[in-house]
Amino acid sequence: MPVFMSSQKNINAHFPNYHTFRLKDNFGNKLTDLDYLQAQYSVVTNEVGACSISISADTNRSLLAVDNRIEIWRSVETNTFLDGETCYLIKSVQLSRDENGRYFWQIGGKTLNVILKSRIVAYNQGTAQAEKTGNSDNIMKAMVRENLGSSATTGRDMSAYLSIQADVSLGATITKAFEYRPLIEVFSEIVEESLATASPVYFDIVLNNQTAEFRTYVGSRGIDRRVGTASPVILGPAYANVGPYTITDNYEDEYTFTYIIGPANLNARMIVTASNATQIARGPWGRVEMATNSSSNNPTANNLTQEANATLQLGRLRTVVEGSILQTPSSIYGRHWKMGDILSFKDRDRTFDVHVDAVDTSISESKVEVQAYFRG
């Protein structure tokens, strides 16, 4: 049964850990370690994370140039790692004065995925660069190459600063058109469509030896820590690591029969259907219909069939699990699980797969608070 975990907070709990905020220039050359007053930052799958860091106004303003990097290194026990495998590009600097007359800089940054918001698919409708059929993970990499990488036109090629992971052809096969749209917007749609398949796909720009690298992941963004793996992490009331939660079988937006409508040709239209026979047969009201125009610029019977099947999957029953994670000695962020990992959630006689989709961290002089968000 497909499961969708809605975003919920990880109840605050702090364990001994340490952070180092390293400030570097655009090219990765270290400038200084930031002596922060307080900080908040997030790492998020398939989206742009953000940070907000307060530092003394004694810091030289020239060091806080736009797109300079902030790396956040977290130490948990003996394990030190670059949180989220990313850095934050400086996008705002604000001078503030508090009620005690103290001045400080408030730095706002965005994770490397913000680069995907800076480029559109700058190709005309019907071109090979604006419509593709293939594995979803390969399509995203091709779009990055053509709009940021070595296949981009003059002035758009950033391959000296952004590498692209090799194709692995593991994502589901899709057909999609996307001329003159932001890359990240198209990628988000591909991710949503892939959740309906056996091969959900994820994307990220990570920091790999000071070089930004675009990567895709199939199945999960992080490590598989479900029941049956070498280092499982199981959430549930029996393990005292979840707070209140609900499980809802949601049929409200379900449809079980789809029509995909192709373009008119000599007063005729190619129409392809797909159906879920099992759900239709459950009773007299089991057939719930939905029709949509094809988004393909190459509406062959095969492409329309693929589109119909993918659309049908998006309308299936959704089981929504809402709850909160508690950090315990056996489920500590940074040691037992990280952002993007896939965990198991047990409730009575049912077990669900849950993905850690986002982790928010708040740091002050007195405490560190971690909030995790998850879905399946």
Spatial distance between the Cα atoms of 288 and 286, rounded to a whole number of angstroms: 6
**Alpha-carbon distance values, 58 to 29, 63, 102, 133, 300 (Å):** 21, 11, 10, 54, 64
What is residue 232's three-state secondary structure? coil
Task: List, for residues 194-204, the tens digit of each pLDDT value.
Answer: 876 778 899 99
Asked whether the beta carbons of 38 and 105 are under 8 A apart, the reply is no
Kindly list the averaged pLDDT for each block of 10 residues, start to end, along the chain of length 376.
Answer: 40 62 95 93 94 94 97 89 95 94 95 96 93 93 96 94 95 89 95 78 93 94 93 91 81 88 74 90 91 78 82 76 78 88 90 86 81 66
Q: What is the pLDDT of residue 376?
A: 57
Spatial distance between the Cα atoms of 72 and 24, rounded to a whole number of angstroms: 11
Burial class for 14, CB neighbours closer than 10 Å (0-12, 13-18, 19+): middle
**Tokens of residue 95, six digits:** 């001078």
- Residue 71, number of CB atoms within 10 A of its CB: 20
What is residue 34's three-state secondary structure? coil
- The CA-to-CA distance between both ends of the chain, in Å, stands at 11
Asked whether the beta carbons of 314 and 255 are under 8 A apart, the reply is no
Q: What is the pTM of this model?
A: 0.82
Most distant pair of Cα atoms in the chain: their distance: 77
Residue 285 makes CB contacts below 8 A (sequence gap 6+) with none
**Tokens of residue 250, six digits:** 């949601």
